[in-house]
Each structure stands twice: as structure tokens, then as C-alpha cells.
Amino acid sequence: PLAHEADLVVFGGTGDLSMRKLLPALFHSDLEGRLAPQTRIIAMSRGGLDDADFRGKVDSEVRQSVPDESEAWQRFLGRLHHVSVDVGGDDTSGWAALTRLLAGHEQRDRVFYLASPPMTFGPFCRDLHGAGLITPQSRVVLEKPLGRDLASSQLINAEVGRYFAEEQIFRIDHYLGKETVQNLLVLRFANAFLEPIWNSLWIDHVQITAAESVGTPGRRGYYDHAGALRDMVQNHLLQLLTLTAMEPPARNDREAIRDEKVKVLQALRPIVGDEVSRFTVRGQYDGYLDEPSSTPPTELSKRVETFTAIRAEVKNWRWSGVPFYLRTGKRMPYRRSEIVIQFKDVPHAIFPGGSPNRLVIRLQPEEGIELHIMAKEPGAGEVTLKPVPLKLSFGQTFTARVPEAYERLLSDVLAGNPTLFMRRDEVEAAWRWIDPILEAWESSSELPEPYPGGTTGPAGAHELLGRSGRAWHEEE
Ligand code: BG6
């Protein structure tokens, strides 16, 4: 279908996210004909730039990361505008400039993308409302983190909700835009063979890992206040958990899917009090305090976790007794995100040397699905077993370019489809489970366990599984 004409206003439009992710994603959409000819992209920032300055900045900073198509690039640059703004301040000239730019285009779809810190979401929406810029065709996109705990996220949701209806609010979790994450739903609900064994009778445990080899250089200002639990678990890892654990929805429909996801979050067994030290691990890589940054390390820096591992449980009929192990960290030996379904062993082994089946759903770097099955090694002697992967590599099977997560999500926002965005109750249910862990960590006198950069985290992360005879999945 032909895309609607839209005005996409990006607040924080000259920031890192915009330059590294949003603008390249929009250029790809443009290149593939998914932006209507009149669609405009309006960056707002404190920067004091005019349209020409902003186009020059994008030309020098973004062009090298996108395909070299000069005609399309010139057309794309022509869509860009810049408005300087003082949010919540006394200087209203920016709002007047935005109003002039949008005037006469009230029938277009309007998307306000807030790629700025969460405390600006409320004031921004209030100012938009004050300037009379919110039309029935308007949507607002909220970047994570949505608050820093349940109370602050409720506050933000309530403030934004004063000016926008829930159907107009798109809360981004870019993991939901990843190709393999959407494929997880297809794997589970478009294939019959998995469903009968997708439960505690057949599955021993689940592992969800998002490992990164990068550290946090230049991000201390943000990261000290976030930490791995807020930065990755509350959103990305819990989203993966919900998609893995949810019941089959009756329809491929925005509310049906989100309803099932919320139920999983509500079924998470709270980890409270002294259970926190048994079921969660915090780590910090050696050298975190020495990372280059514009802000010097503080007491907070010493306490922040760059790694965490958690043993979660979904208390419902399907999953009771199946641990869901979550782990994420910076400065690990590799960049890899995956979901591992570890099946139970055969009920009665007649061959020596077997090991239980395992399904690995790889999100990145190479998207794919691997089922490890036991096979007999060829030979005339004794039967020797070997686990062999049945592999589906998306890169090898499909030749189409895999779009970046943001590309998919921006197209969905422009099309008004919120299925891959988090509903208010989902975000709040996730915080409700995270809060007691945060509180216990914050009131603890212990610091995170140190781990050397380039390793798979502190010893505690291995003990978390090791004490029940399990181990984290590593590449053979
Ligand atoms: C972001 C976090 O949400 O996700 C970053 O703020 C993290 O700290 C990033 O590096 C990881 O995303 P991806 O797509 O590279 O796995």
C-alpha cells in the first residue's frame, strides 16, 4: 500500500540514536519507496542549526553508512528540516517555528519521535499540546528507558497519556523489530511440531543471553544511572522471555499478542528479599571506572552492574518448575544474542554418551535457528553418538536484505501498527518484577562481582546454573 504523507518530528534529532539508527533506517525506507513523496523529517534539538546546517551534518555523518545512491540521497536530504527548541523553558520561539512548519498539513500523519531522556517526555507532550500541534492523526514514539522504576514509568505514562490516547502511543523496544524475534512467533505458531513439547514436560530450562563485546566508553553519564538491569533486562530480555513463554494468541492481532505477553509478565514469580542474592548476580568488568567519559566516576559508578544474570520463573501451568536464565553483559568475549531451549534427556537411554536436545534461536550476529539432535557417528564398531545441528541460516536461505530493527519499527509507526510496541500495562508489569531486585541491590552493601573484560562474566553467573548441574550454552 502507498505510504501516507507524514511529518516525522524527531526530538533529539541530532543525537546519537538519530544519526546512527533512525536516519539510516529512514533512508533505506525512502530508497525502497516506502516514504510518500511529500513526507518530511523534522529534527528538533537545542543545537541552533538551520535546515542547511542539519542537511550538511547528516551528509557528512550519515552518508558513509548507507548505500551510495546519490540521486536518492539528494532527495532524502531535501526531506530534512531542523527546528531549535527549548523544551519546558521560557523561549517559545522553537514551538512557533514548528507550528509554522506544520501549518497547512493538519491532514498528514504526524509522528513525534522522542529520542531524548525520559524526563523530557512529559514536558515535551505538554508543550506540543500547548502549541495545539496534536492532531487526531498524531502519534508519539517513546524511546526506552521508560523511567527508572515502576513509579517513574507510571508518572511518564500518565503525563503522556494526558495528551495522547493509548492507541497513539508507540513505546519502542528495538529488539521487537529484529527479524529473528518476529520469526520466533512464526516458528512457534506456524509450525505444529513444537507446540506439544513446548512446556515443562519436555523442556528442562530456557536461557536468554544478550552478550556484547563492547564496553561503555563515553556513556558513563547514562550508564551509571542505568546498569544492565534497566538498560537490557527490563525491556529487551523480558520481551524475549514473553515471546518464548506466551500462549498461542487466537489471532495475529495487536491486542491479542500483547494480551498474551502481559500474562507472562504477570506470571513471573517475584524475586524478593534474600532470594535476590540467590537468584540474581551482578558483575562489573575490570576497567569500567577507567572508561573514557566526559563525567568522572562517582560512588554510583562503583555500584553499577555491567553484567547481570537472573534465574526467573514463570508460574503457570505450562512453565511451572522450568527456570528461565537471563544474562546480559558488556565486555563479554563476543556479541551474541540468543534464546536456548534446553530439552530434557530421553526418559530411558539405551545408547551411552547421549546428550539432551537443544534448540538455539540466534538473533545476532548470524540470524538462524539450530536444533541439536543426536546422530550416530558413521562406523562399523560400537554405536557412538554425536550431537549434530540441523541449521537454518536466514542469510543463506533468503537472499533479501535483512532490514535493521529500526527500519521495520519506523515503517510500523508510519503505518499506525502498534503490534511490535509495548503497551502501557506491559511496561509496568515488567517494572513491577524488576523493582524488588533493584531495591535489594541498592540497599546491599556489596559491590558487583568484578570480572575481567573479554570473559563470560563473574563466577557467580556460572554458579547460578552450576548448582543445579546446568551450564550456560557456549559455542562448541
Ligand atoms: C540498547 C542499550 O537498548 O541496546 C545498549 O541501551 C545496548 O546498551 C543495545 O548496547 C544493544 O542493541 P543491539 O541491537 O546491538 O543488540
Q: What is the pLDDT along the chain (476 residues), one digit of tens a residue?
A: 567 899 999 999 999 999 999 999 999 999 999 999 999 999 999 888 999 999 999 999 999 999 988 999 999 999 999 999 876 677 888 999 999 999 999 999 999 999 988 999 999 999 999 999 999 999 999 999 899 999 999 999 999 999 999 999 999 999 999 998 989 999 999 999 999 999 999 999 999 999 999 999 888 888 999 999 999 999 999 999 999 999 999 999 899 999 999 999 999 999 999 999 999 999 999 999 999 888 889 999 999 999 999 999 999 999 999 999 999 999 999 999 999 999 999 999 999 999 999 999 999 998 999 999 999 999 999 999 999 999 999 888 998 888 899 999 999 999 999 999 999 999 999 999 999 999 999 999 999 999 999 999 999 999 999 999 999 999 76
Catalytic residues: 236
How much distance in Å is there from the Cα of 322 to the middle of ligand 1? Answer: 27
Q: How many A from CA of 290 to the centre of ligand 1?
A: 21
The minimum-distance atom of ligand 1 relative to the CA of 219 is 8
Beta strand 40-45 with 358-364: parallel, antiparallel or unpaired? unpaired
Q: For residue 210, give the ligand 1 atom closest to its CA.
A: 16
DSSP element (H, E) containing 32? none
Give the annotated binding-site residues: 46, 86-87, 144, 174, 178, 212, 231, 330
As a whole number of angstroms, the distance between CA 176 and CA 155 comes to 24
Q: Which of 179, 180, 212, 216 to mutate to test the pocket of ligand 1 (most atoms within 8 A of CB)?
A: 212
Contact by Cβ (8 Å): 409, 176: yes
Report the separation in Å between the CA atom of 330 and the middle of ligand 1, taken as the mean of its atom positions: 10
How is 39-85 classified by DSSP, letter by letter?
A: -EEEEEESS---HHHHHHHHHHHTGGGS---HHHHHHHHHTEEEEE-
* Residue ranges at the known binding site for NADP(+): 46, 86-87, 144
Nearest to 288 by CA among 147, 460, 458, 148: 458
CA angle (309, 440, 310) in 5-degree steps:
15
Pocket of ligand 1 (CB under 6 A): 212, 231, 337
- Pocket probe for ligand 1: among 146, 172, 174, the residue whose CB has the most ligand atoms within 8 Å is 174
CA of 464 to the centre of ligand 1 (A): 24
User: d(Cα 370, Cα 97) in Å, to the nearest integer?
Assistant: 53
Known binding-site positions for substrate: 174, 178, 212, 231, 330
What are the residues facing 11 on neighbouring strands?
Answer: 44, 114
Burial class (CB in 10 A: 0-12, 13-18, 19+), 324: buried
3-class SS of residue 199: coil
The whole-angstrom separation of Cα 407 and Cα 158 is: 28
Task: For residue 138, list its beta bridge partners.
Answer: 110
